Structures are given as C-alpha cells and as structure tokens.
Amino acid sequence: MTQPIDIFTVTGKLNKWDIIKSEFTLGTPVGDIKINIEKCNDMMLNEMVDAMKYRRTVEIKVVEE
C-alpha cells in the first residue's frame, strides 16, 4: 500500500457556520477559506461544530492517493 502524497496543509480556526449554504468558514493567516460540507457524514460534521464551539485549531490536508 502506498502512502498518500501531501499536496498542502491548511491550518486555522472555524469561525462561521452557514447552515443554509452548508459551509464552514476557516479563518487562516492568509485569509478565510470556505469549506463545503454537503457530503460530510454526521461524525465529521459534529467534529467541526465541536472545533468551532471550543475554538480548536483545525488542520486540513489535501492529499493525492
């Protein structure tokens, strides 16, 4: 099994949740990034809400498998 290749990583805090648009806003040092959550499972959604509620830092990795 091959390891995924890390293309880039984004780190920040989730500072907004737009339920109607199904997206979170991740505040980063280089600006805000919108994260679409339409296809997230319930566990992932709960983790993101929890991270926003408790102001935890979130790390999102974009990888190529």
* Spatial separation of the C-alpha atoms in residues 37 and 18, rounded to whole Å: 10
The pLDDT, as a whole number, for residue 40 is 85
The pLDDT, as a whole number, for residue 1 is 59
The runs of H, that is alpha helices, within the chain are: 42-53
The pLDDT, as a whole number, for residue 64 is 80
**Dihedral over Cα of 16, 18, 21, 24: its sign:** positive
* Spatial separation of the C-alpha atoms in residues 23 and 11, rounded to whole Å: 17
- Per-residue pLDDT tens listing for the chain (65 residues): 567 787 889 999 999 999 999 999 999 999 999 999 888 889 989 999 999 999 999 998 888 86
